[in-house]
Structure 1
Amino acid sequence: MNVCRYKGLSLVVMLRDEHCPPHVHVDGGTWSARFRFSFWHNGVELWDVIPHSHRPPLAMLEGLRQALRQPAHLRRARGIWWSKLQTACLDNQLWDWQGNEVVVMKRVASTTYMIGSARYEPEGNKTLLTLMGAPEGVEIEL
């Protein structure tokens, strides 16, 4: 499904055989790119471009990234991903309660909890985390 357009190119969430992490695809004809987005922060990053030999100018890739970063477009991407795939791709990751972030490698501390489940609420543009062993969950307003 189309999320937005930038200079004639569509940023889309594929709805078949899709996988984590959340991302959009861009077909540039001689190249294709993927941009990752998240359900716990508003950052967007270039994931990859193939083939590398036909990579478009960096200004084009940055323009595509910035287009997806626009709040309305990011919210649309999340809504499409959630409605079709029903995952925020956060289950079984570690959440640092004190740092308010998902952590990849960290010494387990009293503020680190395993994410049991994550649910995105498109109407409020927020993600709700259930943390294993934590006294309460986490609500992330995006």
Structure 2
Amino acid sequence: MRLFSYKGFSMVIMLRDEHCPPHAHVDAGTWSARFKFSFWHNAVELWDVVPLSRRPPVAVLEGLRHALRQPAHLRRARGIWWDKLHTACLDNQLWDGESNEVVVMKRLASTTYMIGSAYYEPDENKTLLALIGAPEGVEIEL
């Protein structure tokens, strides 16, 4: 599903056989790129470009990344991903309540809980985390 166009390039969310992490695609014919986004923060990251030998100029990739970071585009990407795939790709990851972030590897502390489930509310643009063993969940306003 098309998200937006940037300098002639279309950014899309693929809806068939898609997988975590949440990401959007650009297919330019001679190269394609994927950009990761999240349901717990507003950063966007270039994931990969193939083939590497046909990689476009950095300015093009940065322009696409910044375009996806625009609040309206990012909110639309999350809404499409959630509506069609029904996952925020956060289940069974670790949440650190002290730093308020998903952590990959960390010494477990009393503020670290496993995410049991994550739910995205498109109308409110927020993510709700149910944390295993925590006294309450987490609400993330995006």
- Alignment TM class, shorter chain as reference: over 0.9
Amino acid at match of 1:141: E
Question: Structure 2 CA distance, aligned partners of 1:23 and 1:70?
Answer: 15
Amino acid at match of 1:81: W
- 1:118 maps to what in 2? 118
Amino acid at match of 2:115: I
Question: Structure 1 CA distance, aligned partners of 2:112 and 2:58?
Answer: 37
Q: What is the percentage of aligned positions where both structures have the same residue?
A: 80
- 1:96 maps to what in 2? 96
Shift of 1:121: 0.2
Q: Which runs of 4+ in 1 moved over 3 A?
A: none
Question: Structure 2 CA distance, aligned partners of 1:44 and 1:9?
Answer: 17
Amino acid at match of 1:100: N
Do residues 34 (structure 1) and 23 (structure 2) align?
Answer: no
Gaps of 5+ in 2: none
Task: Tell me the SS of whatever aligns to 1:73.
Answer: helix
**CA RMSD between the two structures:** 0.3
- 2:51 maps to what in 1? 51
- 2:9 maps to what in 1? 9
Question: Structure 2 CA distance, aligned partners of 1:110 and 1:11?
Answer: 41
Task: Tell me the SS of whatever aligns to 1:16.
Answer: coil
Amino acid at match of 1:56: P
Task: Tell me the SS of whatever aligns to 1:130.
Answer: strand
Question: Structure 2 CA distance, aligned partners of 1:5 and 1:89?
Answer: 26
Amino acid at match of 1:140: I
Deviations 1:89-113, CA, capped at 9 Å, x for gaps: 0000000001000000000100000
Question: Structure 1 CA distance, aligned partners of 2:78 and 2:4?
Answer: 12
Aligned residues between the structures: 142
- 1:66 maps to what in 2? 66
Amino acid at match of 1:55: R
TM-score (norm 1): 1.00
Amino acid at match of 1:47: W
Shift of 1:25: 0.3
Amino acid at match of 2:126: K
Shift of 1:4: 1.1
